[in-house]
Structure 1
């Protein structure tokens, strides 16, 4: 059995990681594209390492090194939890080569284990990029012995197991419930969003709304407060904290036993109904009494945009991953109305940060909003059906315009909602409200046109699983990180420049720059042949 598991895992890894493209592909463009993907991932990992070390060093400098072990475990666990949850459907369930894999002479548990281990290896890389640098920062201030180093390293290797098992189990329950309904994808998306909303709500309840006041009033107990918040957020971190800070092998064994036990429990539960869930998810419904009552005709653009909408809502992975930016931006803006962000803003007046925050805020909202960039992946998602699109009696530029129009239809209403919410929560006047809307609209248009340019420039139609395009594609990474880094840079610039000149001029100038770049990318996209 271990031999079969290793063979299945190795084949899966070669297929999903596109190593065969680098080894055997003769097309230099495809090789360069994959090298670009790996280079982008390497940059992300380097940034994570540096950021993690800086946080740990800062805590040690503030004489709070004892909170670092639990903090590092909580952060790596959250990453593993999110990545596993959004990847479960489409990779662990209802994956494209399901019939071929299940026809192999291996047990269901072996298939589940191979799928889970592949996700574990990917999450382990992120876990090590967080926990090892934090261990180095911890070591600078605490000077731990060899045993503590080994405890930390072993714990880091097992850190993803619990959050992955819980996330995969939640995904399995959502898949099982959704498979019983006719509109499977819609039900799964609704359940996914409800679960995420519940998780955020519980986190808010556990951490406590009044902790901020306590934070400002009792700075001398900052370490204890932070440690308590981490333990509330992720109770397992208590065990890892004890294992490292007390150099306790007993607590380490307890942590390992709990991690491995939850993983075994997950595999055992899912294996019982694995085939039934996949069969239900991959089976369509039909009605024998179908009758043609009325046929409607639509414009070419309307039909193409409608096609994009159906593709977007027919995939749980596509909708939950790419659409998450809209959810975060809108929900965050609505929450600001209820928590009264104007009070937080008033407290910043003492430090002279109030005006800077006002002019930087729309770019921070735009950063979340532009995380939804369907244009960066929609062209590649045509996949093997590209010939159908190419054979239509329309210009190729019309297809690109329809994909950009669909992204705008998703983001522009969301931008309007965010603008209204911030106008209420920050008590903005008419001019600032309009400027916020202009900035958000300019950011949305730039994200749409740049995403379409990247999606066309780095298109990949030879994929086996849409996860390769949505989560691992170079165009997808560019669509997310370029917008994110650009909006962060503009927010920081607006914050500091507003102290030198009128912040409204800064906002208008940055919006104009985004608009100008949007025109350039739009013309480049429409001139592609």
Structure 2
């Protein structure tokens, strides 16, 4: 019995010793994992510091004043810092003085337009009602620099983005999002640019006190408001064509993705135009003293920016979808956008213009 107990005890000791070795192995692996995590964190910190250093160096190379100020702050050279701020104050003061002295003269020249031409009576030519209304919209639009500069930004961004794609490699996987296909979101992004701050978002309010001229004509709301939508599309169409021609040479994609590059921005254009017109009819600003109040400070112009986000947000989801499913989502998106545009068009056609006279 004594021998048996010894063997049992020895066996228990063996098992205990075996368990202890397993636990120590597990403890060692945990320590190794912690050490690996620390090493990874240190590597990440070093990479971030290197990237930050490169960004700072590029900023210093491109901006000499920033380099001078940065070195002065690091070396605690208060003399250079004082000279830097004195020079800055002098430049700001001179600029303010020159602008303030000539402000009224510049404003008068910007607003004053003198034309001298002799009028010769020629044969009268007839034209359709819609053509005359579109010409009136064009004259109203191009007569205001503020109106043009604020509403042309979105389409120009779309063209600029299409040019920038020539220098951006979208085929490279994103480190944190390896499954993302950035090329799938480009049509939505371009369509969103076309939907930001449309011309129609303040076309009704821009007439202001001249609104009675349009109302005095024997025309329906479909003709008056339709001319505003048509003119907006006429302005966007050449920009859209230029953008698509650039994308034809820049984007190396298959036939199906090329089709979405054509259709999604094309479907976004009527949606943006009618969405802006609906907002302007819902939030009109007919009584104003300055054009800035209509273009920059009206509710309709501010809310029209949401049209761009309506187009861009679905693209964030399309980026993570596979080929077949992404094509289905793109088709559904186009149908939904065109359906909403049709509903807005029907509502605009039945809108009572007397509501704007209140």
Offset from partner CA, 1:269-304 (integer Å, 9 cap, x none): 234544443333333223253312343322111111
Q: 2:271 aligns with which of 442, 446, 471?
A: 446
Which residue among 483, 491, 495 is the counterpart of 2:307? 483
Q: Give me the whole-angstrom Cα distance separating, in 2, the residues matched to 1:239 and 1:502.
A: 54
Aligned equivalents of 2:297, 2:76: Cα separation in 1: 38
Write the distance in 1 (CA, Å) between the matches of 2:259 and 2:74: 53
Q: Secondary structure at the match of 1:292?
A: coil
Residue in structure 2 matching 1:495, options 305, 309, 319? 319
How far apart, CA to CA, are the structure 2 residues paired with 1:240 and 1:524?
59
Structure 1 pair 457–244 and aligned structure 2 pair: CA distance change class (3 A): farther
User: Which of 460, 465, 469 is the equivalent residue of 2:285?
Assistant: 460
1:122-141 to structure 2, matched below 5 A, reads: none
- Compute the displacement of 1:363 (Å): 0.6
Alpha-carbon offset, residue 479 of structure 1? 0.8
Unaligned runs of 5+ in 2: 1-43, 353-358
Q: How many residues get paired?
A: 309
* Structure 1: stretches of 5+ with no match in the other structure: 1-61, 65-217
1:285 aligned to 114, 137, 140, which one? 114
Q: CA deviation at 1:257?
A: 3.3
Whether the 8 Å contact between 1:326 and 1:411 is mirrored in structure 2 is: yes
Partners of 1:365 and 1:468 in 2: how far apart? 28
| Aligned residue in 2 for 1:347 | 172
Cα 1:249/1:305, change in 2 over 3 Å: farther
CA distance in 2, matches of 1:457, 1:251: 57
Match of 1:360 in 2: 185
The change in CA–CA distance for 1:376 and 1:353 in structure 2 (over 3 A counts) is farther
Aligned: 1:395 with 2:224: no
Residue matched to 2:140:
311
RMSD across aligned positions (CA) = 3.0
Given candidates 152, 159, 179, the residue that maps to 1:330 is 159
Given that 2:188 and 2:265 are in contact with CA atoms closer than 8 Å, whether structure 1 keeps it comes out as yes
2:194 aligned partner: 369
Quote how far apart the aligned CAs of 1:238 are: 4.6
Match of 1:320 among 115, 136, 149: 149
Matches within 5 A, 1:193-272: 221-232=50-61, 235-238=64-67, 253=82, 256-272=85-101
344-353 or 376-385: bigger deviation? 344-353
Q: Distance in 2 between matches of 1:231 and 1:487?
A: 38
Using the TM superposition, give the Cα deviation of residue 313 of structure 1 relative to its aligned residue in structure 2, in angstroms.
Answer: 1.3
**8 Å contact kept, 2:165–2:250:** yes
Q: Report deviation, 1:246.
A: 7.9
| Contact 1:326–1:372, Cα closer than 8 Å, also in 2 | no
Alpha-carbon distance between aligned partners in 2 of 1:490 and 1:417, rounded to the nearest angstrom: 25
Distance 1:255 1:403, change over 3 A: farther
Paired residue for 1:505, among 328, 331, 336? 328
Q: Deviations over 1:375-414 (max 9, x none)?
A: 1111111111111111111012211111111111122332
Aligned to 2:259, which of 434, 443, 457? 434
Structure 2 equivalent of residue 515 of structure 1: 338
Instruction: Spell out, residue by residue over 1:82-121, the C-alpha distance to the aligned partner (whole angstroms, 9 max, x if none).
Output: xxxxxxxxxxxxxxxxxxxxxxxxxxxxxxxxxxxxxxxx
Contact 1:443–1:514 (CA<8 Å) still a contact in 2? yes
Does structure 2 retain, via aligned residues, the 8 Å contact 1:449–1:522? yes
Compare relative contact order (CA 8 Å, sep 6+) and give the higher one, 1 or 2: 2
- CA–CA distance in 1 between the matches of 2:121 and 2:164? 46
> TM-score of the superposition, structure 2-length normalised?
0.76
| TM-score (norm: length of structure 1) | 0.53
